[in-house]
Amino acid sequence: SQTIHQWPATLVQPVGSPLSLECTVEGTSNPNLYWYRQAAGRGLQLLFYSVGIGQISSEVPQNLSASRPQDRQFILSSKKLLLSDSGFYLCAWSDYLNTHEAFFGQGTRLTVV
């Protein structure tokens, strides 16, 4: 069966420090991968998505970047965190053949202080 792993679960970082959040998927090949952020309120905002190794699309301009060094690995990074980067970050994957369902990781609660 397929599983998605996201870590760490919680993170407290000072302003100006770097960030690296990692997401890996098991049990599938060539997944579509996504990074979302949930800030104030409940809505989720798509940050990045990837349909293959080295292929990254950004949805909104921001202080973050993403990389996909391996087929089932997706990394969210920042060189210098801002207070506004605080939030709940979620990684998700979907099967490129099944366009109706997506699977989310458990999320990372990031607090920038």
Binding site for other proteins (CB under 8 A): 32, 34, 36, 41-44, 46, 49, 51, 57, 59, 88, 90, 92, 94, 96, 98-107, 109
The answer to whether the bond into 8 is cis (omega within 30° of 0) is yes
Closest CB to other proteins among 16 and 96? 96
Compute the distance between CA of residue 78 and CA of residue 16 in angstroms, rounded to an integer.
9
* Residue with smaller CB distance to other proteins, 83 or 99: 99
Query: Minimum Å distance from CB 95 to other proteins?
Result: 8
Nearest-angstrom CA–CA distance, 9 and 61? 25
Kindly tell me which of 31 and 112 has the beta carbon lying closer to other proteins. 31
Q: In the chain, how long is the greatest CA-to-CA distance?
A: 41
| Residue 20, both tokens | 């690296």
| CA nearest to 91, candidates 43, 59, 50 | 50
Q: Which is nearer to other proteins, 14 or 98 (CB)?
A: 98
| Minimum CB distance to other proteins, residue 46 (Å) | 6
Least Å distance, CB 104 to other proteins, is 3
